[in-house]
Chains A and B, each alone.
Chain A
């Protein structure tokens, strides 16, 4: 049995933040869960899927975040409890539906979990989802530790039902992927029956139709809910204060930043000078509570990630109450004591408190610090992110890059979101020249492909992964074909949503529960749209290269090349070597060759190493996974591959 299903109230486990959210949802009796994979949110749906059968929960990976939220909302409309999980930019994708959903209101408890990634540790943005709560006028909760991640999720369902409104729970990477002790509550019996009621009076929230119109009526109802949320938040146990009665400095904080603030106060030993107001209900702010603490201090610092959301909201409140509590001196991101880009950490908070209170702090002597930093600078060279040994993307980009060079017309590739995004780096031969959001590579290529009118003759490619194709590329491909844009789309099909952990997508014949499902064939979709479609194995470099060159010559609209090969870490390939690789030292000429160590300098598979003493290449047998591609790139043919029987 999964530790997440332990029925014993009071049992304590070490849970990842995302697991704590799952346990909270289970304790709330969640019925339906949906999402689209994205770091740092993926473990929520994954963990729920593993225990779905035991708890009679319907779990799905949806095609994208907008559809995921619609699936979860349908459950709410039918009176069930549902959860929808996504990473920060997923909320952008879902936001059009969300705008309308907050007007129409909801029935069964529904919680939107957004896992933001301050510092972009696994993203190409550090976008804020919290602003949606203010912009779309819905309640926002942010857990400040692992226990709260569980307790708050459970409560979010109750709050949603009380308000008849979706509730957003925002986590961050350092909460979702960090772990801590969580004490369990009881698991309820889930007995809800789904029924969508619509025959009542048109405006009846329980039995009428569910729409965002009449807009002003619904909008007013929505704002009444926010007013009610404020009252509820005034009494919430998730808002806590620790510190002296009249602190010299009041820190207002939330989420992981609470833990950093607590640490900083401890390190500086200023518990009797600095107070911490930790807010769990961050939109709408509970005005009485916040005013109560503002009144007791002259100086306020807001600690949060990433941009000054809470800072702005607190300042508005402080301005409204200035007559009662007087003017305050504010510190934070706007006035510059804390950074407004990147992720927060205890050290930023330590240095901010030190500068405000005039404390001289350094954790180690200057000599030690400089010496340790110099040693690392000289002897610990940075690790650039690289494709794994045997990754099909390395082979695909090697072929694409080569085709563009041979063609000679300064062609380029528009990138997309997945492991293959790393092809902006040397590991992918710096092949990608644009990277934005899911599906944007094909959309941009569609646009570039029409610029012949203005004299542009550079061949244009887009690349996307298989899961990305279903998520957002199809409309862009339709656009390109319909508008006769002259471009080539290369689909890097590695058999799953590989980057986030092999979640299944609609191209596969099974779902997250392991049940058999109809696969939506991407080649047939592309053909039906009207593109010319070819399929190749990227590990066959020659064949792939020829196909690419030939497609660049074909000026008849949109071409699609599907490069299919399983991810090197996938269950299908992991631990299975197709070839034994070796370097024939009698053939490798080393520095004398003139290739300039092509295998280790350019191709750069981690399985290839340069033996300085011998001045020859060699294979690191611990790292090599035996894909065999390097045997094709050595100009001397010194790398030998032997098929593994």
Chain B
């Protein structure tokens, strides 16, 4: 079993985004790396109807001690990884606390109500102000733009995993990522995913 310490036990992460952004895959990759290191990991997620353009959330609980609830109690998350910025804001309303950290992609996906002109979407400055006020630390990165350059916008999810690694709260590195991914991918796809991971890591280091 592992000996490395977690900043908190259980350490609770919310990975959030919009259906179709690869939320589920990101949470599974992250969790698989940590299970291999000997931690108890619980992922709570729902899929089905929520995939169709709705908000999606995965709750990940990491512990040296036992399995924890697939739903994080209110105010008890330590890290939010958001594939879409207003989803980070939505998560803070329930799971936020002054010590929380937020890592978010900047690329908006407009809710149907915004497209229809019934609701408004915050600009980047408004998003920054909210995150500044409700987190201990936050990072906004242009993951989708970089992923499009790599050839596929979906790779933003892997980029966010790379950036999560750079935050340093969780005990995994590039090799763990390669190890976990090599069970499901091979060849070209593997190369692209490693690139995305590295790019995500470096975006945070800038």
Contact = CB atoms under 8 A, between A and B. Distances in A.
Interface of A: 3, 12-14, 39-40, 121-122, 145-147, 173-175, 177-181, 256, 259-260, 262-264, 267, 345-347, 350, 362-365, 368-369, 371-373, 375-377, 379-388, 419, 422, 426-427, 499-500, 597, 600-602, 604, 606, 608-610, 622-623
Given A181-B67, A259-B70, A368 B134 contact: yes
Contact of B67 (A146, A174, A388): A146
Contacts of B87: 380
Contacts of A380: 86-87, 89-90, 93
Contacts of B69: 256, 259-260, 262-263, 345-346
Contacts of A388: 20, 52-53
Nearest to B71: A345
15 contacts: A14-B35, A39-B47, A122-B47, A178-B45, A179-B42, A363-B74, A365-B98, A371-B133, A381-B86, A381-B111, A383-B54, A384-B111, A386-B53, A387-B52, A604-B112
Interface residues of B, number: 62
Of the listed residues B93, B121, B122, the one surrounded by the most CB atoms of chain A closer than 10 A to its CB is B93
Contacts of B86: 379-381
Nearest to A147: B67
Contacts of A145: 67
B32 interface: yes
A608 B115 contact: yes
A381 B20 contact: no
Nearest to B180: A14
A152 to B, nearest CB: 15
Interface in B28-85: 28, 31-32, 35, 40-50, 52-55, 67-76
Interface string B112-145: 1111110111100011001001100000000010
B153 interface: yes
A385 B53 contact: yes
Contacts of B96: 364, 368, 372
Contacts of A175: 70
B15 interface: no
B121 A364 contact: no
A122 B122 CA distance: 29
B117 A597 contact: yes
B177 to A, nearest CB: 15
A290 B182 CA distance: 48
B46 A177 contact: yes
A621 to B, nearest CB: 9
B127 A379 contact: yes
Contacts of A387: 52-53
B48 A14 contact: no
A76 to B, nearest CB: 30
B18 interface: yes
A363 B75 contact: yes
A415 to B, nearest CB: 14
Contacts of B172: none
A120 to B, nearest CB: 9
B92 interface: yes
B58 to A, nearest CB: 9
B25 interface: no
B52 A419 contact: yes
A372 B117 contact: no
A264 B31 contact: no
Of the listed residues B35, B67, B98, the one surrounded by the most CB atoms of chain A closer than 10 A to its CB is B67
Given A39-B49, A122-B48, A379 B67 contact: no
Contacts of A40: 46, 48
Contact of B117 (A146, A345, A600): A600
A379 B96 CA distance: 16
Nearest to A381: B119
B192 interface: no
A427 B112 contact: yes
B18 A177 contact: no
Contacts of B122: 379
Of the listed residues B31, B110, B122, the one surrounded by the most CB atoms of chain A closer than 10 A to its CB is B110
Interface string B99-113: 000000000011111
Of the listed residues A384, A500, A610, the one surrounded by the most CB atoms of chain B closer than 10 A to its CB is A384
Contacts of A419: 49, 52
Contacts of B43: 14, 178-180
A375 B134 contact: yes
Contacts of B32: 14
Contacts of A14: 28, 31-32, 35, 41, 43
Contacts of A180: 40-43, 67
B148 interface: yes
A422 B40 contact: no
A606 B69 CA distance: 34
A379 B113 CA distance: 12
Nearest to A427: B112
Given A13-B35, A381-B86, A383-B55, A178 B49 contact: no
A201 to B, nearest CB: 49
Contact of A381 (B48, B75, B113): B113
A10 to B, nearest CB: 13
Nearest to B89: A380
B111 A383 contact: yes
B64 to A, nearest CB: 12
B76 to A, nearest CB: 6
A376 B89 contact: yes
A616 to B, nearest CB: 13
Contacts of B90: 376, 380
A386 to B, nearest CB: 4
In the A-B complex, the 8 residue pairs with the closest CB atoms: A363-B75, A122-B48, A39-B48, A376-B93, A381-B119, A178-B70, A386-B53, A259-B69
